[in-house]
Amino acid sequence: MHSIYERVPVDASAQDGLILSVVQQAIAQATRRHARRAKTPGQRRALAIAGQALLTVIFERTRQTVGNAREFRMGAFALPASADLETVLDVGIGALISTFAEVDDKESRRGLERATELARRVAGFSGPFGIQLTAKARAIAHEALEPLDAYLSNNLETFCLPLQAEALNLRAFETGVV
């Protein structure tokens, strides 16, 4: 997902938001199609990884300038609040929940770490270069995290201790008790 976002134009035209929206929808649709067909452990793991990637809402990009090999342009970008963002996060969270018990603990932990990163952004913590989600984007992300929070609350005792700790860390950001 990150490498896809790196290729999406940012600050290139007035249509950047529209292009990003189309890219988000395409990725969400591809993930949904894969989720319906994912039966084998490898396919379920791929779905879990896709779910993790869909939770990326802030990313940074570093590029070397064309005119000077010693000059780099660095920037951070936050996905805009939109119905597309809501869809992408819902698909990502759904993929994590549906695969959580089927993938190994290492992959489950990666999913929780990615969800915790999203919860940090919802709580107002800054990303690279101090960028933050807008209030509306934070509200969308908060709502998207609610099904995962309910899943974790209902199944916490079935997780191994490291997963329990990561789940509680996520819940601390979600409930505001950090």
The residues, any chain, with a CB within 8 Å of residue 36's CB and separated by 6 or more, are none
The whole-number pLDDT of residue 98 equals 94
| pTM score | 0.83
Query: What pLDDT digit, counting tens, does each position of 49-87 carry?
Result: 989 988 988 877 777 788 888 888 777 778 788 888 999
64 within 8 A of 115, measured Cβ to Cβ: no
What residues contact residue 10 under an 8 Å CB cut-off, 6+ apart? 16, 20, 61, 75, 77
User: What count of other Cβ atoms lies within 10 Å of the Cβ of residue 149?
Assistant: 18
Question: What is the rounded average pLDDT of the residues 155-170?
Answer: 92
Confidence bin at 175 (pLDDT 50/70/90) = low
Q: What is the mean pLDDT of the chain?
A: 85
Give 100-120 pLDDT, tens digit per residue: 989 999 999 999 999 999 999
Domain residue limits, the chain: 2-175
